[in-house]
């Protein structure tokens, strides 16, 4: 009886909440129409007589910044004691989402009016207003959650243990290693500039799914055993590892957001790692970065595991291209050793090209082209369980590590 009462109350709250959202939508459309029809009277108020176009857009953007801040202050201080159906609006995420959508609707109204002067005016006014409102929402987000979410940071003891284990590793210092650093910086800066038109809408959609930190940082090991923050777009819900601790993401992980799954499959979520490349923490090609908490476990059980950090970790690696998700740490180490021994410009170019084909087209190297039978799926599932167990600190259950000459 109590359960039925709760279900009825929940259904009623859902209906009232949906009705509240309908009112919000109607009010937004009404505001849109009113502003569109009266912009001839309003436009003198926001400096239309200013001849400098840059100043006009700056003032226009500041109006949206101020409007977003005022709207946030009003909504956070709003008290609706008798409207229990609007309880979801008390959540900070819902408030920020509604504030941004309202500002975007206002920017659209202004842009529609300006479109009579050309399509460029429509794009510029809508873009400036929307980006100004979104930048303000990001600032409000930073105050609440921060801009970067640090995922399950290692303990100081783990960081020190990993660094000490690499004290005897000879760092790679060939002429190609030094030239590669300059190539990485140029490529990273170029990709950052070229990807901006894609990155901005992508970040907005990611933020709308789950308002919060845009980036996540996994503390990983770089050249010489030092730890660094490996940046990625946040493709999981906030605090995804709060209850579980550091665990590898499994296929069909429920913590991954809808858009996050697509970004993971295409590796677009790794775009922020261009900043890691720019500062020298990572390279374009090299062994994939491994989290410090996992490295601390592997160096105790896998002989020679620290050798993989003689070079900078990279976006594309031999284990990534010729191995797969189910490869165990020992198997990945064989590939990493082979890459370090044979590294050079031609191999790097080949691996980067193969990684692009694999990520965006789905074409795998010939060594991995095989018929996907039920037996293969069963073998992959067993390999995943071994890799998962190894990353959680258990035993891999595989054969001892073989010489890297056996890696193909």
pLDDT digits 0-9 by tens, 88-124: 455 788 888 888 988 898 888 888 878 888 888 899 9
Q: Are strands 215-221 and 227-233 parallel, antiparallel or unpaired?
A: antiparallel
> Distance between alpha carbon 204 and the CA centroid of its chain, in Å?
12
Angle between helices 119-145 and 53-76 (to 10 degrees): 40
Q: Which of 354, 357, 358, 319 is nearest to 336 (CA)?
A: 319
Cα–Cα distance between 153 and 292 in angstroms, integer?
8
> Which residues, in sequence order, are CB contacts of 374 under 8 Å at separation 6+?
none
Write phi, then psi, for 287 (nearest 5 degrees). -55, 140
In this prediction, residue 364 carries a pLDDT of: 59
Taking 50 as the pLDDT cut, the residues of the chain under it are 1-6, 47, 80-88, 367-374, 396-408
In this prediction, residue 279 carries a pLDDT of: 93
- Neighbour-count burial of 209, counting CB atoms closer than 10 A to its CB (0-12 exposed, 13-18 middle, 19+ buried): middle
Cα–Cα distance between 128 and 64 in angstroms, integer?
9
In this prediction, residue 406 carries a pLDDT of: 38
Residue environment code for 238-270, b if the CB has 16+ CB neighbours within 10 A, otherwise e: eebbeeeebeeeeeeeebbbebbeebbeebbbb
pTM: 0.72
Write phi, then psi, for 66 (nearest 5 degrees). -65, -40
Q: Which two tokens stand for residue 353?
A: 């090209």
Beta carbons within 10 angstroms of residue 116's beta carbon: 8
> Which residues, in sequence order, are CB contacts of 15 under 8 Å at separation 6+?
85
What DSSP state is assigned to residue 323?
S
């Amino acid at each position: 009886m109590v359960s039925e009462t709760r279900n009825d109350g929940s259904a009623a709250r859902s209906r009232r909440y949906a009705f509240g959202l309908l009112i919000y939508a109607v009010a937004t459309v009404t505001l849109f129409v009113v502003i569109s029809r009266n912009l001839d009277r309003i436009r003198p108020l926001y400096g239309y007589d200013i001849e400098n176009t840059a100043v006009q857009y700056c003032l226009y953007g500041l109006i949206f910044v101020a409007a977003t801040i005022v709207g946030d202050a009003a909504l956070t201080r709003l008290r609706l004691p008798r409207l229990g159906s609007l309880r979801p609006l008390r959540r900070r995420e819902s408030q920020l989402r509604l504030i941004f959508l309202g500002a975007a609707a206002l920017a659209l109204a202004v842009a529609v009016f300006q479109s009579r002067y050309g399509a460029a005016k429509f794009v510029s006014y809508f873009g400036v207003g929307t980006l100004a409102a979104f930048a303000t929402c990001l600032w409000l987000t930073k105050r609440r959650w921060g801009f970067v979410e640090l995922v399950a940071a290692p303990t100081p003891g783990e960081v020190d243990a990993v660094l000490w284990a690499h004290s005897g590793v000879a760092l790679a210092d060939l002429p190609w290693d030094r030239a590669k650093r300059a190539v990485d910086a140029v490529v990273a800066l170029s990709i950052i500039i070229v990807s901006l038109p894609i990155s901005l809408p992508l970040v907005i959609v990611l933020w709308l799914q789950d308002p919060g930190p845009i980036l996540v940082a996994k503390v990983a090991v770089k050249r010489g055993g030092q730890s660094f923050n490996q940046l990625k777009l946040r493709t999981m819900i906030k605090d995804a590892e709060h209850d579980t601790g550091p665990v590898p993401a499994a296929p069909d992980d429920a913590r991954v957001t809808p858009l996050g799954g697509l970004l993971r499959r295409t590796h677009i979520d790794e775009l922020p790692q261009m900043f890691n490349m720019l500062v020298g923490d990572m390279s374009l090609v090299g062994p994939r970065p491994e989290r410090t908490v996992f490295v601390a476990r592997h160096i105790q059980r896998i002989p020679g595991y620290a050798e993989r950090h003689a070079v900078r970790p990279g976006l594309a690696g031999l284990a990534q291209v010729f191995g797969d998700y189910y490869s165990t740490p020992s198997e990945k180490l064989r590939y990493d050793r082979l890459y370090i021994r044979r590294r050079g410009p031609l191999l790097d170019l080949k691996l980067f090209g193969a990684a692009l084909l694999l990520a965006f087209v789905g074409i795998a190297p010939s060594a991995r082209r095989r018929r996907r039978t039920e037996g293969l799926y069963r073998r992959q599932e067993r390999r995943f369980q071994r890799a998962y167990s190894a990353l959680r600190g258990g035993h891999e259950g595989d054969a001892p590590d073989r010489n890297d000459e056996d890696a193909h």
